[in-house]
Amino acid sequence: MKIVMSSKRNWIIALLIVSNFIMAFRLKSDSNEKNPIDENQKVGIDTTTMLLKDTTVLIEKEIALETTNSIVENKESAIKICKYDAFIQKHAKSIEWDWRLIASIIYKESKFDAKARSGGGMVGLMQLVPSTGYKFGLPHGSEYNPEENIKAGISYIKALDKLWSKVPKEERTKFIIASYNSGEGHVKDAARLAAKYGKDPLKWEGNVEMYLALKNQAQYYKDPIVKCGYFNGPRTVNYVKAILAKFEEYKSL
């Protein structure tokens, strides 16, 4: 029988199984040295049976758990969104994001066209500005390589996650997505404006979102606390909504 250890838990269970069998063997050996009608023999045999039953139950529980996990993993991996799913799934693990959320961003950015290039010079699946891509590990000459572009884009998202680490996790995704679209400077401006006007700078909807949308109005983008000036905020607000809507669509597949 081949045993594959995939975690510390598996090692512990294996040790418990081996220990139980060793104990059972000793008990049985001790009982065989007794007189056949010795009461201790009965105790030894009963204890051996009990230990073997415990081990069987332990193994059955482990198999059931692994089977359940396997079903969940197989169900998720069976979802087909685009031909780059394997790359997205592989690199999404590095930031512990649902890969379908990354796929939603890629769909919005490039419609899964690895050769996409925008008028602003953004390239590839995740529409990275080459200088940003290089900063986050994109090799020169690999701007249109699907896996390298995805990997660099996810590294950028990881950096944004660290940048917004003070934002509660349930809100942070929206700040990250907005920053991916607009650059973090404009989102920081919106957070400062939210705080100034009595809103929560750590919440998106009805707070930072609202002031990002107002950054196309002089009253707000000329405010001394604003560092990055004018911005077409409604575009990014709609971008975040579109990404989250696409994510819900992919989750329903």
Active-site residue identified among 33, 73, 76, 109: 109
> Distances in Å between the alpha carbon of 210 and those of 179, 198, 199?
15, 12, 10
Answer yes or no: 205 catalytic: no
Cα–Cα–Cα angle for 86, 87, 93, nearest 5°?
95
Q: Is 157 exposed, middle or buried, given 0-12, 13-18 or 19+ CB atoms closer than 10 A? A: buried
Rounded CA gap, 79 and 194, in Å? 39
The dihedral region occupied by 175, where left means phi > 0, alpha psi between -120 and 50, and beta the remainder, is alpha
* Tokens at 130, concatenated: 């080459």
* Positions marked active-site: 109
